[in-house]
Amino acid sequence: MTEKIHRTLGLTDEELEKIIEILGREPNHLELAMYSVMWSEHCSYKSSRIHLKRLPVEGDHVLVGPGENAGVIDVGDDIAIAIRIESHNHPSYIEPYQGAATGVGGIIRDIFTMGARPIAIMDPLRFGPLDDARSKWVAEGVISGISGYGNSVGVPNIGGETVFDQTYIGNPLVNVLCLGILPKDRLVLGQASGVGNLAVLLGATTGRDGIGGVSVLASAGFGDDEEDADKRPSVQVGDPFEEKRLIECCLELLDAGLVVGIQDLGGAGLSCAASETASRGGVGMDFDVAAVPQREKGMQPYEIMTSESQERMLAIVTPDNLELVTQISNKWEIRSSVVGKVTQGGLLRIMEGLEGEVLGEVPAVSLHEDAPLYERPLAPPDDLESFQLDQAEQLPNPEDIAEDLLNLLSDLEWVTSQYDQQLFLNTVIGPGGDAAVLRLKNPSTGQDTGRGLAVTTDGNHRWCAINPRTGTAMIVAESVLNLACVGAEPKALVNCLNFGNPENPTVMWQLSEAVDGMSEACREFDLPVVGGNVSLYNESQGTNIDPTPIVGVIGVIPNLETPPPGMKWAEGDRLIVIGPEPEGLSGSAWAFAQGHRKGVLREFDYDLHKRICAITRELVQNKLVTAVHDVSVGGLGVATAEMAITSGIGCSLARISSHEALFSESSSRVVLAVNPEELINVEEILTNADIPIVRIGLANGDRYTIKGLLDLELHDMKNKWADHLPSAFEGGTTQG
């Protein structure tokens, strides 16, 4: 009987044997359920932890690194920034609206759990192509869910990405990043301490939504629609208005010094919150399931302990402070219930009343830290050699370069306009720029420091499908360059590693290679990894997604008296490109649009990239350029087209000799628009820094022309750019 149950819960025979060894006996149903969620891939990282240890995690300004609810960095003036990125991929495929909404709710709780006020979210999204009906339905629901929750809870959405590609048919990626700000002295950790202290459950009642979400749903791939329908009960249901009250309640409790430790309830629910807080503090806990407020009748102890009902927090408070905690909770109309007590010895005991029957008893550390670590087999693809020989540069020349360029243009305003971008009135640059920019204000006084925060999210499955190591390094490098384009110094990185089935040796090879690429790049840029998330089993009907590591990088702008230049050039500006000569089309958006998904990526020059980032920051900070935009997706063609459309001013370009020069996505290139009076000065600065420069043209008129290649009306380009998504979605979202 036990064997059947453990397999149903996602545990292997070997994992059951390890549990028996830890306990010295067979586990009962409740204990087995707790191990199944805590030892799931989603919670334990049992296939990835070995590789994640290779990432650099230390830095002078790092206050909290990986292992807590969010990373925290010191940005000066006794101000700290909390940052976290998470995935909600599988729930968002099953129930797009609620899957995405609760992903937003969960990441926000990760932030204010640290004592930080959430100030911004970003959403890197990946869906199947727009001509796939299910993919379009999922995209509509996800976008509605993000806007519905984020707008209601009152946290601005300041950027992200929206990508449509065939690799995500049947398995979208819904990643969400959140930033928070706090006084350094308000920092609190998710750990229990003080024998006799009380565990207080704050927030919503507990129901059956989300049971088994991390073990059944998030740690397995998708089959057919009939199988997926059975997983719908595993998707949580969110309430943003409850979350808003919970935020204010928790921050007031923290400001008053009434909380010893605090932990949000997300994946694995109370099993996670109770075991992690106890384990981190080196203590035990007696937990009373009868004291947990329940919204459904007849809930079993295992259901209570594994429910992933949303908008709940577990706070550790002293008995002396309980009355004040209750008063503040009541003020914000937040339920508060004493559900446990901190004990000696390290055991997590699940009880029916704190003086009643013991229903389950396990070492807290065994749930939190003792999941098996799998060193899964790694193997590159069998066809790697032929794969690399089939390069995109060998494709026939395009029949119509202008049409190819137009097909690569897409304005994301249809998505971003559904999000509130200006809550708190801190947003200087929102969606659509190289990086989002926020005013950095003192969290205690509200006073503007005169400095800014910049944050970007980046990913490129095309590069990583070609070469996961180099592709991931290039993603990190692009993020650093994006920050440079707004004048920001990078400070820390978080990642969300989205990969396929870890039981496939090629997938594990991709993951290992990506980690090594990220590690190498982060060390080169002195960029600590302060947190992250691993999402595996991203597969549908046996087909794995392309490896899709996503990074979020935060930086600081030393002077934000005036906004960074952005992408709008002025009539008469001289246009130059800095960086190496473009080389190669493999992994480019143009090549993928031709159905070509093979080849090699060119060598990456870290030294040159760092110099280009430094000089770009200098030019931006000294206000020597009118406009700036990095060359990335779609190459130089898309970069200059976006600048022309955004400016409402055309351009006359030259020295772009071929479609390879136009569409190559070679790294370390930036388009600069310079006032003619500053051109000589700017070029001298660049030359002295040994930066390659090419003059490519002039900003003028109402046409977009490239000598010898194409001639387009700017009006037509703008219409194509603006109409891409609205026409595909026929006007708007339909869910919610």
Active site amino acids: 42, 88
Rounded CA-CA distance 711/701 in Å is 12
| Structure tokens belonging to residue 621 | 């900070």
DSSP string, 447-477: -EEEEEEEEEEEE-HHHHHH-HHHHHHHHHH
Q: What DSSP state is assigned to residue 569?
A: -
| Spatial CA neighbour of 42 closest among 703, 538, 686 | 538
| Spatial CA neighbour of 508 closest among 168, 51, 86, 43 | 51
Give the sheet arrangement for strand 157-164, strand by strand. Answer: 62-64, 71-74, 79-87, 173-183, 117-127, 157-164
- Counting Cβ atoms within 10 Å, is residue 333 exposed (0-12), middle (13-18) or buried (19+)? exposed
Tell me how crowded residue 310 is: count the other CB atoms within 10 A of its CB. Answer: 29
Place of tokens 């704190």: 354
Element holding 274 (H helix, E strand)? helix 269-281
| Cβ pair 107, 84 in contact under 8 A | yes
| Structure tokens belonging to residue 82 | 């909390």
Helix 133-153 / helix 240-255 crossing angle, nearest 10 deg = 40
Rounded CA-CA distance 700/297 in Å is 70
Query: Both ends of the chain: CA-CA distance in Å?
Result: 42
Helix/strand number for the chain, H first, E second:
26, 28
Contacts of 187 (CB under 8 A, 6+ apart): 63, 64, 72, 80, 114, 115
H-state helical runs in 525-558: none
Rounded CA-CA distance 570/676 in Å is 11
β partners of residue 285: 342, 348
Q: What DSSP state is assigned to residue 255?
A: H
Amino acid at 483: L
| Cβ pair 515, 521 in contact under 8 A | no
Helix 714-729 / helix 635-647 crossing angle, nearest 10 deg = 100
H-state helical runs in 360-409: 364-368, 384-389, 401-408
Amino acid at 523: R
Rounded CA-CA distance 248/366 in Å is 34
Residue 78 Rama label (left phi>0; alpha psi -120 to 50; beta): left
Rounded CA-CA distance 703/305 in Å is 63
| Cβ pair 468, 553 in contact under 8 A | no
Rounded CA-CA distance 263/203 in Å is 12
| Structure tokens belonging to residue 551 | 């990074």
Rounded CA-CA distance 146/260 in Å is 32
| Phi, psi of 196, deg, nearest 5 | 100, -15
Residue 730 Rama label (left phi>0; alpha psi -120 to 50; beta): left
Tell me how crowded residue 687 is: count the other CB atoms within 10 A of its CB. Answer: 11
| Cβ pair 508, 378 in contact under 8 A | yes
